[in-house]
Amino acid sequence: MRSFFQRKGRVVLVVLLIVVAGTSIKAYSDKDKYFEIAKNLDIFAAFYRELNTYYVDDLPPEKLMHKGIDAMLEETDPYTDFIPEENLDELKFMATGKYGGVGVSVNTDSGRTVITDIYEGSPMHKAGARPGDIIVSLDGKKAQGMDQDEISHLLKGVPGTPLEMVLKNPVTGEETAKKILREEINVRPVSYAGMTGNDIGYIRMTQFTENSGEAVQKSFEDLKKDHPGMKGMILDLRGNPGGLLDEAVLVANIFVDKNKLIVSTKGKVKNWDRDYRTEDAAVDARIPLVVLTNRSSASASEIVAGAVQDLDRGVIVGQRSFGKGLVQTTRPLPYNAKLKVTTAKYYTPSGRCIQAIDYSHRSEEGEAEIVPDSMRRAFTTAAGRKVKDGGGIEPDDVVDPTLLSQVAVTLIRKLYIFDYATQYYYQHPSIAAAGKFSLSEDDFSDFMHYLDGRNYSYKTRSEEALESFQNTARKEKYYDAVAKEFDALQQKMKHDKKQDLLKNKVEIKHLLEEEIVNRYYLQRGRIEKSLTTDNEVNEAVAVLHQPDRYQKLLQ
């Protein structure tokens, strides 16, 4: 018995020695690391001092240092960034959705700067400006020749400061001088809330900024109050780049009951690791729910979609999300600068991290790589469904994205749809309600006449593929043997622009209707009109109208 305790004591002693040795190794490793940092900082400072003193030409210190910072940032992920004092407004906007300005979006080319969208209730809206108006000058400076950044800089500014502007009517050419006071523009996180049909609610969320959880909750409660027969809810997170993690938890809490894990964060600083749970009772934990995602749904959007999926609270419809499973924190730097640094990865309730690109392990060329499907691990939802990490949120019901035809893309890019909508607005004092407006056959014929003589040449995807084949065949010296057949095929595929307009008439008509509605009802009207032809929304409505199918997707 005594020998057992003696042996046991030796075992304990050995374990203690190993633990102490491990601690010593770690301490030594940390000490060694900090020595290397201090050493290289000294070398960097001395190098810059000598270079600045003896180099033949003057070196701008700010530019040189920023290049050094940019080189360091290349070793990190794209979300870790240095933010100088002059760019803090951008950081504030990402967190709050607020900025100082006049509330417009513009499009600038070599010939003109045209107002494309006006924020409802903004100074420009109050001043009577309309989409399609042309900006002639800003504070006495001619807008023609300025690039988009210059125009944007002049439009923004401290709330309360004046902006003198000259606008030109796009139809009459009449110029009007306006003096506008900039205000704090608060871009609402809910761009639209309404009903699709009689019984399905719809909320589109554009970003996760301060108080966005509260805004979504109010929109949902208002819809329930105004439509007591509501049978389902669609939360549209398509194109939503994310934002504040806390707000994502609050949005999830609207539909998920109290004390449910929504997301966990884990990083190098273990004291910062945290589980985020719902703190309040859900507004409605039972209403059938669909969340829409696409390739541009990222970050906080994926936290909400991931929680809804992992807790089997609703169905995800659309396309796979972006795959950003990283958390950023801002740290103060001297002279009011900031470091936005990735400090953790986040994990959905099932334990998966949906980060799609691995920045910690790079190729020999130094490029970060997408996590391959073979390396993605399986996890299970609360009900036992399989879900995977490493590649965003995969929908429960996949809907292929809608791709515009080449002719439609060209008409948008050249602003022909935009300009026709402006012309239509000045010819028609009023139109039907946004959701009910429709162009007549005569209107579409008029649009085709409007395009007469205008250049909207383009290559179809088939022509691009044929041209690629021709280039490859020439390189490989096969082209001469198939030249006749190639020419014959090229002639057969040669597109007729008017025929392309007719072939894609439905698509072009929808685009025209949305742009025209924007002239009368602004962004809210555009969204309302778009819902009538939105494939993902229509699929979501179909799922919510079929309880058996909805439940099957959750099994």
Residue 163 lies in a domain: yes
Residue 363 lies in a domain: yes
Band (13; pLDDT cuts 50, 70, 90) = very low
Residue 244 lies in a domain: yes
Q: Are residues 225 and 355 in the same domain?
A: yes
Q: Which residue has the higher pLDDT, 76 or 1?
A: 76
Residue 83 lies in a domain: no
Q: Are residues 288 and 389 in the same domain?
A: yes
pLDDT of residue 6: 47
Our answer to whether residue 509 is catalytic in this structure is no
Domain count within the chain: 4
CATH label of the domain that carries residue 256: 3.90.226.10
Band (432; pLDDT cuts 50, 70, 90) = very high
Q: Are residues 466 and 478 in the same domain?
A: yes
Residue 12 lies in a domain: yes
pLDDT of residue 257: 97
Q: Are residues 425 and 462 in the same domain?
A: yes
Give the end of a domain, one of 401, 418, 446.
401
Q: Are residues 395 and 485 in the same domain?
A: no
pTM: 0.87
Q: Are residues 194 and 312 in the same domain?
A: yes
Residue 375 CA to residue 389 CA, distance in Å, equals 9
Band (180; pLDDT cuts 50, 70, 90) = very high
Q: Are residues 316 and 259 in the same domain?
A: yes
Q: Are residues 427 and 280 in the same domain?
A: no
The region of weakest confidence among 115-129, 393-407, 483-497, 531-545 is 483-497
pLDDT of residue 2: 45
Q: Are residues 364 and 303 in the same domain?
A: yes
**Given the residues 310, 396, 500, 534, the one annotated as active site:** 310
Segments forming the whole domain that contains residue 151: 98-186
Give the end of a domain, one of 381, 401, 421.
401
The pLDDT tens digits for 366-390 are 788 898 888 899 999 999 999 999 9
Q: Are residues 110 and 148 in the same domain?
A: yes
pLDDT of residue 12: 42
pLDDT of residue 10: 47
Q: Are 235 and 252 within 8 A, CB to CB?
A: no
pLDDT at 4 over 60: no
Residue 337 lies in a domain: no
Band (362; pLDDT cuts 50, 70, 90) = confident
Question: Taking Cα atoms as reference points, which of 392, 220, 242, 396 lies closest to residue 314?
Answer: 396
CATH label of the domain that carries residue 176: 2.30.42.10
pLDDT of residue 453: 84
Report the C-alpha dihedral over residues 537, 540, 544, 547, rounded to 10 degrees: 160
Report, in this order, helix, strand and coil percent for the chain, each rounded to 5: 45, 20, 35
Residue 309 lies in a domain: yes
Q: How many CB atoms lie within 10 A of CB 235?
A: 27
**Given the residues 212, 219, 299, 350, the one annotated as active site:** 299
Our answer to whether residue 29 is catalytic in this structure is no
Give the end of a domain, one of 186, 207, 228.
186
Which conformational region is residue 193 in: left (phi greater than 0), alpha (psi within -120 to 50 degrees), or beta? beta
Q: Are 221 and 283 within 8 A, CB to CB?
A: yes
pLDDT of residue 456: 80
Our answer to whether residue 310 is catalytic in this structure is yes
Q: Are residues 218 and 358 in the same domain?
A: yes
Question: Taking Cα atoms as reference points, which of 154, 239, 151 lies closest to residue 192?
Answer: 239
**Given the residues 77, 260, 297, 324, the one annotated as active site:** 324
Residue 461 lies in a domain: yes
Residue 467 CA to residue 485 CA, distance in Å, equals 14
The pLDDT tens digits for 95-121 are 999 999 999 999 998 689 999 999 999
Band (490; pLDDT cuts 50, 70, 90) = confident
Q: Are residues 390 and 323 in the same domain?
A: yes
